[in-house]
Amino acid sequence: MIKAVTGTKDILPSEINRWYYLENIVKEVFINFNYKEIRTPVFEETALFARGIGEETDIVSKEMYTFLDRSETSITLKPEMTAAVVRAYIEHSLGTLQPLNKLFYISPMFRQERPQAGRFRQFHQFGAEAIGSTSPLLDAEMIEMSYNIFKRLGLKDLVVKINSLGVPQSREEYKNKLREFLSDKKDMLTEESRKRFDKNILRIFDSKIESDQKIMKDAPLLIDYLDEESKNDFDTVKEYLTKVGIPFVVDSALVRGLDYYTKTTFEVISNKVGSQSALCGGGRYDLLIEELGGKPTPGVGFAAGMERILLACENENSFALSAPSIDVYLVKLQPGPETALSAGKLELELSRIASELRSNNISSDYDYIGRSMKAQMREANKLNAKYVLFIGGDEYSRGELLLKNLADGQQKTFSKDDINRIISEVRQ
Ligand code: AMP
């Protein structure tokens, strides 16, 4: 039997309401902050990610789904969105249409990582990018939007971590200090960290190995080497977050992998999802747009992992969600003694009424597989139907339909020619 590829999963109908719920909140919050949705293709030319994310990063060096298509073009399934959004921004000259573009997305992503709880090979992210302003208020806005979404989902056990990486010049000075600090300790680092020492020294802070962490505990901190502008911007971010009541901690080890990050970086962590605890991460990338061939333009953004967020919701029991429900389930009874209609005609009449309800935006369904009345009622309950509409029996012989409210058990009869009254009753 052919199964779904390792690290991918089906989202089944029983789970879909949770996805809708999350997606609706995401859209509402972004639209509230005046962000507009952008949808880009699932695949791009490989060079975009190699340049946009950085050759040395784990994503590009180990995790991309890359292949040659039939015309020998190297194609990559998108592992993240920022590079793709920036490509679209440059390609369509969005910056000439308006100076600041506030964009959001909801999209599948692909990374060939080792599958484990909270880590998939196809997963989904939502996120935002604001391109065209250096204002630190936008950095804070990214944190605020993600925090708002998590709060509206009912997540409580969250930690917002922030840091500033400064500008390249101050970062270079700091990297020298770090090299100096590590020069006599290099041999004690793990092999992976020794590699990072040469390629991307800041990422030694990302090491999860205790012996590395012990060494890095006493390392000089980037935050103490910030240039004046980065320091001021970081202060503004902190001041704004305090003003709007978002708790945060400054984590100077939060370096994030990408070379093009500048100034603010942040992550929101949940204590409820095990070892893969980052729900979202983001930061400012004032150098990326130029790197990808656009005019020098500042930008800031974040991405959040939807599978992990849903897991956090589940673990915090925060789904105030009822099971999927429909408005009306139509139940067919035996035709009454004086009904002129045959069973077949009665069924057609039932489906016509369902059609009329559906045209009026009342969600409805009925039985197509000849189940008994009892089994039809069981189905109505399983679907969490708000009402059952009975068609047939003595009522129908009298020209009436019986509507039962399943929540309180109340029943009302309506003339079978007056579906509009049923519609009004259901809408109440
Ligand atoms: P990144 O783009 O690596 O900064 O990731 C942003 C967010 O996406 C993370 O905080 C996770 O919530 C989520 N994420 C990243 N990689 C995966 C993955 N392989 N599976 C599931 N979620 C992921």
Which tens digits make up the pLDDT trace of 378-414?
Answer: 999 999 999 999 999 888 888 999 999 999 999 999 9
Establish if 250 belongs to a structural domain.
yes
Establish if 379 belongs to a structural domain.
yes
Query: Same domain for 25 and 114?
Result: yes
Kindly give, in sequence order, each residue whose CB lies less than 8 Å from that of residue 209, ignoring residues fewer than 6 positions away: 190, 192, 193
Query: Same domain for 294 and 338?
Result: no
Q: How far is the CA of 305 from the centre of ligand 1 (A)?
A: 5
308 lines ligand 1 (CB under 6 A): yes
Q: Work out the pLDDT band at 359, boundaries 50, 70, 90.
A: very high
Angle between helices 136-152 and 16-32 (to 10 degrees): 150
Which amino acid, one-letter code, is at 190? T
Query: Same domain for 361 and 308?
Result: no
Which amino acid, one-letter code, is at 351? S
Mean of pLDDT values over 186-202: 88
The last residue of one of the domains, among 315, 337, 370, is: 315
Which amino acid, one-letter code, is at 145? M
Establish if 206 belongs to a structural domain.
no
Query: Same domain for 302 and 377?
Result: no
Q: How far is the CA of 109 from the centre of ligand 1 (A)?
A: 9
Query: Same domain for 279 and 373?
Result: no
Query: Same domain for 141 and 269?
Result: yes
Q: What is the mean pLDDT of the chain?
A: 92
Q: Whose CA is nearest to atom 13 of ligand 1?
A: 305
User: What stretch of H or E contains 280?
Assistant: strand 278-284
Q: What's the CA gap between 270 and 276, in Å, rounded?
A: 9
Contact 226, 264 (CB under 8 A): no
Task: Output the CA angle 153-83-93, nearest 5 degrees.
Answer: 105
Contact 150, 176 (CB under 8 A): no
Establish if 181 belongs to a structural domain.
no
pLDDT in tens, 179-193: 999 999 989 999 989
Q: How far is the CA of 270 from the centre of ligand 1 (A)?
A: 13
Q: Is 216 helix (H, G, I), strand (E, B) or coil?
A: helix
Q: How far is the CA of 127 from the centre of ligand 1 (A)?
A: 11
Contact 167, 229 (CB under 8 A): yes
The pLDDT of residue 271: 86
3 or 54, which is more confident? 3
Q: Is 157 helix (H, G, I), strand (E, B) or coil?
A: coil
Q: What's the CA gap between 84 and 379, in Å, rounded?
A: 45
Compute the radius of gyration of the chain from its Cα atoms.
Answer: 28
Query: Same domain for 162 and 28?
Result: yes
Query: Same domain for 349 and 293?
Result: no
Q: How far is the CA of 304 from the centre of ligand 1 (A)?
A: 7
Q: What's the CA gap between 420 and 422, in Å, rounded?
A: 5
- Ranking 36-40, 230-234, 310-314 by mean pLDDT, the lowest is 310-314
Measure the CA dihedral 11/16/18/22, to 10°: 90
Establish if 195 belongs to a structural domain.
no
Query: Same domain for 295 and 337?
Result: no
Establish if 198 belongs to a structural domain.
no
Q: Whose CA is nearest to atom 4 of ligand 1?
A: 281
298 lines ligand 1 (CB under 6 A): no
CATH code assigned at 385:
3.40.50.800
The last residue of one of the domains, among 315, 337, 353, is: 315
pLDDT in tens, 222-246: 889 999 999 999 999 999 999 999 9
The last residue of one of the domains, among 247, 280, 315, is: 315
Establish if 179 belongs to a structural domain.
no
303 lines ligand 1 (CB under 6 A): yes
Q: How far is the CA of 409 from the centre of ligand 1 (A)?
A: 47
Establish if 411 belongs to a structural domain.
yes
279 lines ligand 1 (CB under 6 A): yes
Kindly give, in sequence order, each residue whose CB lies less than 8 Å from that of residue 113, ignoring residues fewer than 6 positions away: 7, 63, 119, 120, 121
Q: In total, how many domains does the chain have?
A: 2
- 322 pLDDT above the threshold of 70: no
127 lines ligand 1 (CB under 6 A): no
Query: Same domain for 278 and 376?
Result: no
Please give the C-alpha separations between residue 29 and each of 121, 126, 282, 362, in angstroms, as whole numbers: 27, 12, 17, 27
125 lines ligand 1 (CB under 6 A): yes
The upper half-sphere exposure of residue 144, i.e. CA atoms within 13 Å in the direction of its Cβ, equals 19
Q: How far is the CA of 177 from the centre of ligand 1 (A)?
A: 31
Query: Same domain for 257 and 133?
Result: yes
Atom nearest to 279 CA in ligand 1 = 12
Count of beta carbons in the 10 Å neighbourhood of residue 101: 21
87 lines ligand 1 (CB under 6 A): no
CATH code assigned at 157:
3.30.930.10
269 lines ligand 1 (CB under 6 A): no
Segments forming the whole domain that contains residue 249: 16-167+227-315
Query: Same domain for 151 and 39?
Result: yes
Q: In what order do the strands lie in the sheet with 387-392?
A: 364-366, 328-335, 387-392, 400-405, 411-415
Contact 52, 291 (CB under 8 A): yes
128 lines ligand 1 (CB under 6 A): no
The model's pTM? 0.89
Q: What's the CA gap between 219 and 205, in Å, rounded?
A: 9
301 lines ligand 1 (CB under 6 A): no
